[in-house]
A and B are shown apart, each in its own frame.
Chain A
């Protein structure tokens, strides 16, 4: 009997050895889990569910991806868990939000940095925009900056929390225009910040392009500028900050994509990096994302690595004074 068990154990070891040796050709042989550091129903969760819905197809991973929400503290809870507790075996992926997690790691108090994760691919880019209520006298970013110059520190504008894309955009605007304004962070995410603008609690606000687009359709806001390098297809008529004479790049754009923990075998990373971008290109995915007003921006692993490095550099400089 003992021999049988020993034999079985040896056979098992042999099998795992073979799996390791063949460069994870069988990966994935069971469903994959993807951590989303925000609550169910939020924009990141919503998009993550759409872009992973075709994972089970033969031309994608061949196994479904299940979403696991670990919300809390602006994403810190989920990313802390992912950096310290997740198994680096390729079966636990996570969604990332740049600049959020990079800015948080620069400010400290968290257990991760860009070195804790390996990017796989990027699926979306949601730029920040500057909005004012529909009845506001301000009609361009120049109006906004002129008011701020005349009334230093008195122009109130909302955004979703600290060290998120909106906050970065606010800091960039203040720096580029050389003015002091009053950034009012809200707790309930972009929706609460938008409500503050529409209700007139604040004079303006930084918000997500997709949400601002809907609010403008509803006739409640004007969009004065896009915090990105070029105009957006959803609103060709809105100029970028750069066009209006302010030196603001795309550092605040909310990039969303997939990553794995450091230490995941290279074979698995390579396989994911090859399959995941094509999975995002699926027509059904693109259709659903467009319907939801979520701008897509697919980038491969190398492009994301470059983007992370560039972002980290810009943010370190921007946040140094805070």
Chain B
């Protein structure tokens, strides 16, 4: 309960002002496509040079928590996931916005973020020590199986066909191989200088989700634009809270999955939302509604990606190992003030460490309050005529993909992937499995290659990948997940064939 003693430091006028500033800017940057949490925090580091250590970290902590939540805004309203964390949010969130329920989707996403975020930070406060050992339990073989487990959820991300889902997953994995391979020192499929660094995940996300929609909107022309203006329904915050209470299961699954996965160095943040979405869908009686604008989808995804924020800092704060790119940037923010994270961080720099953690708690609440306040207004974006909207989204997509690495190459990649996705979507493929392949492919490959090198030098491939408690548990989960998908597929197929017989 030591953290309570340091709450006063958060509420000094100057620090609280910084916290408010960080939250507002974080929401804005998070909602801007291409400005990922990592980049926002990195850009803010120079501003902390002149601040006191605690004040500087308050700013960084507030920015981190609110950019993760702010990413939901563009995911829901524009169908542009600001970061990999928000992919799952687009699936149901954007469908809700299209039905005119944008305000409800935004309110739920901010509330779910608050629930997940608070619990995640409490977890960080309460059980830091055991958690740090858990974070280290994942070696190359375990991470390889985690990535494979991630691939098995492809089936539930694509509402239509399992085969098409798997196929787009494969396309994603192939795209991920492009570029220079650091493990073997070889160049693969680099047929244009823009691809030298591989396909940037954020540029790809923007292209795959936003561009097909832009093309569809342009294809509609502007004659009938006035005819189908969406009526944006008002939604009371109290109703949103009641809705969240009714969807306890989704919020619970999101929070638990997010916290556990967030701990795994290098993997967590990217897939927490997707895995939580998948689990919430499998365990929900209304699983058929997922993907059509179902509130549980938004709640699970958003509670997971904010629940991951606290635990993702555990390896950094206890072992001095940054477990995610954002944590690496925060490490820079600590070092600049001469603070070395490690087991004695909470002894040597108690006021700074606890003030930082407290600022994330208060930041979560501020983020939620401000987010709820803007939800109603922001949802009106859906009323913008489609041809205008298409132009705005296109401009944001180009700006966003350029700003990731200040490179025109990323813009070309974004546009070509977007056009490709437009045609794929017309043939019934969807973007989410493709993106999952793009994210998990390199994780699986890298850890397999690394594991294989270690295995060949020590006990051999079989024992390395197939023995050990954690490996066996993960393999069992992979088999269960595949069996479940196969069973669901067979069941629905039998159902259809019966119908056909009747006809």
Contact = CB atoms under 8 A, between A and B. Distances in A.
Interface string A204-225: 0000000000110111100000
A107 B457 CA distance: 25
A185 B458 contact: no
Given A80-B193, A182-B454, A201-B139, A291 B446 contact: no
B385 interface: no
B407 A70 contact: yes
Contact of B182 (A162, A194, A200): A162
B45 A41 contact: yes
Interface in B19-50: 38-39, 41-43, 45-46, 49
A42 B326 CA distance: 10
Interface stretch (A71-79, A250-258, A268-276, A306-314): A71-79
Interface stretch (B284-292, B317-325, B374-382): B317-325
A10 to B, nearest CB: 36
Contacts of A74: 180, 182
A72 B198 contact: yes
Contact of B197 (A72, A153, A288): A72
Contact of A199 (B136, B332, B343): B136
B329 A40 contact: yes
B185 A163 contact: yes
Contacts of B193: 80
B457 A41 contact: no
A137 interface: no
Interface string B195-213: 0111010000000000000
A41 B454 contact: no
Interface string B312-344: 000100111111010011001001111011111
B185 A162 contact: yes
Contacts of A290: 338
Given A184-B454, A201-B454, A40 B39 contact: yes
Contacts of A46: 45, 332, 335-336
A255 to B, nearest CB: 20
Contacts of B319: 195, 198, 215, 218, 220
Nearest to A199: B136
B179 A73 contact: yes
A53 B179 contact: no
Contact of A218 (B180, B182, B341): B341
Interface of A: 39-42, 45-46, 49-50, 53, 68-74, 76-77, 80-81, 107, 109, 153-156, 161-163, 182, 184-188, 191-192, 194-196, 198-202, 214-215, 217-220, 288, 290-293
Interface of B: 38-39, 41-43, 45-46, 49, 136-140, 179-180, 182-185, 187, 193, 196-198, 200, 265-266, 315, 318-323, 325, 328-329, 332, 335-338, 340-344, 405-407, 442, 446, 450, 453-454, 456-458
16 contacts: A41-B45, A71-B405, A72-B197, A73-B182, A77-B196, A80-B193, A154-B457, A155-B457, A162-B183, A162-B184, A187-B442, A196-B140, A199-B139, A214-B341, A218-B343, A293-B340
Q: 8 nearest interchain CB pairs?
A: A72-B197, A218-B342, A41-B329, A40-B42, A73-B180, A182-B457, A291-B338, A199-B136
